[in-house]
């Protein structure tokens, strides 16, 4: 396996036999997540992770991750570098699992189908065994003694909760790219008198509180709606920011299920909303 000053060890404690597919998935998911972490965090480091099963005994499976960390530049990766990289990875591993356990994933995190599958595989490895546990730790040897620098563990009940939240997140991320809302109140937070082609962003920002409390870019989904609304911006005597527009909109959805822009397809009514 070669020399490695810091060791990443996965321990799976079981009371019942582990299905071979779940057994393999537990280790490949860890290797995949480590490679993903290094690619995202260290531009000057490459990795070729490989898992080696160190011990299998009744009620416990242990495997070490040989990271294959390599510096791209001339500089070498020191003993301390390896420890810090693996410590940080274990902390990130625990943080990301906790996101999934709570069902509270920050924007931009865990949006890829591949990484969600890896996390499902990690959780599935112990989910069917009521007494099972999953422990990831990083350790190094000093004066012949093994010192654990960081660790994270979860239980079977937590694995099952995470699996359900992963499925819910997959459904959320697979929602249609657009949603239609009818007769919603739209107000302007930034206007523009310029004309643009139908379907193109205008530079204007609008708010539809029924959908989101954040202003979103405006797109005109029909020429008639554009003419009617532009008339209120350019020619009407009243301030456009004191008006509300009852509209039908097609909402463009970004990754993670968040609205990204509103395309107005129909204007029903204009109302005075005051100062």
3-state secondary structure of 162: helix
- Percent of the chain whose pLDDT exceeds 90: 53
pLDDT digits (tens, 9 = 90+) for 215-241: 999 999 999 999 999 998 888 788 889
pLDDT digits (tens, 9 = 90+) for 73-115: 445 667 778 889 999 999 999 999 999 999 999 988 998 999 9
Give CA separation, 252 vs 103, 133, 196, 211, in Å. 24, 42, 18, 12
pTM above 0.95, yes or no: no
Residue 2 above 60 pLDDT?
no
Average pLDDT over residues 153-160: 97
pLDDT digits (tens, 9 = 90+) for 188-212: 999 875 655 555 667 889 999 999 9
**Average pLDDT of the chain, as a whole number:** 87
pLDDT digits (tens, 9 = 90+) for 6-61: 889 999 998 888 888 888 999 999 999 999 999 888 877 888 877 777 777 778 88
Torsion 207-212-217-221 (CA) sign = negative
Note whether 273 and 191 are within 8 A (CB). no
Contacts of 236 (CB under 8 A, 6+ apart): none
Return the number of other C-beta atoms located less than 10 Å from residue 57's C-beta: 7
């Amino acid at each position: 396996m070669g020399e490695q000053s810091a060791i990443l060890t996965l321990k799976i404690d079981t009371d019942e036999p582990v299905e071979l597919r779940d057994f393999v998935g537990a280790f490949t998911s860890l290797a995949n997540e480590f490679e993903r972490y290094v690619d995202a965090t260290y531009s000057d480091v490459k990795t070729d992770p490989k898992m080696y099963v160190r011990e299998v005994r009744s009620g416990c499976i242990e495997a070490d991750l040989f990271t294959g960390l390599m510096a791209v530049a001339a500089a070498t990766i020191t003993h301390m570098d390896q420890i810090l990289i693996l410590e940080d990875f274990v902390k990130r591993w625990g943080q990301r699992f906790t996101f999934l356990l709570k069902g509270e994933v920050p924007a931009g995190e865990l949006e890829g189908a591949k990484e969600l599958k890896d996390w499902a595989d990690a959780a599935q490895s112990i989910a069917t065994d009521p007494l099972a546990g999953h422990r990831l730790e990083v350790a190094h040897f000093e004066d012949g003694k093994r010192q654990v620098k960081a660790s994270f563990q979860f239980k079977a009940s937590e694995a099952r909760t995470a699996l359900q939240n992963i499925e819910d997140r997959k459904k959320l991320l697979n929602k249609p790219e657009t949603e239609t809302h009818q007769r919603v109140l739209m107000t302007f937070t930034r206007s523009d008198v310029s004309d643009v082609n139908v379907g193109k962003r205008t530079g204007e920002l609008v708010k539809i509180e029924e959908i989101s409390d954040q202003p979103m870019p405006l797109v005109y989904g029909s020429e008639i709606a554009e003419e009617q609304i532009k008339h209120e911006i350019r020619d009407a005597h009243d301030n456009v920011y004191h008006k509300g527009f009852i509209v039908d909109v097609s909402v463009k959805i970004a990754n993670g299920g968040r609205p990204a822009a509103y395309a107005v397809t129909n204007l029903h009514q204009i109302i005075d909303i005051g100062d």
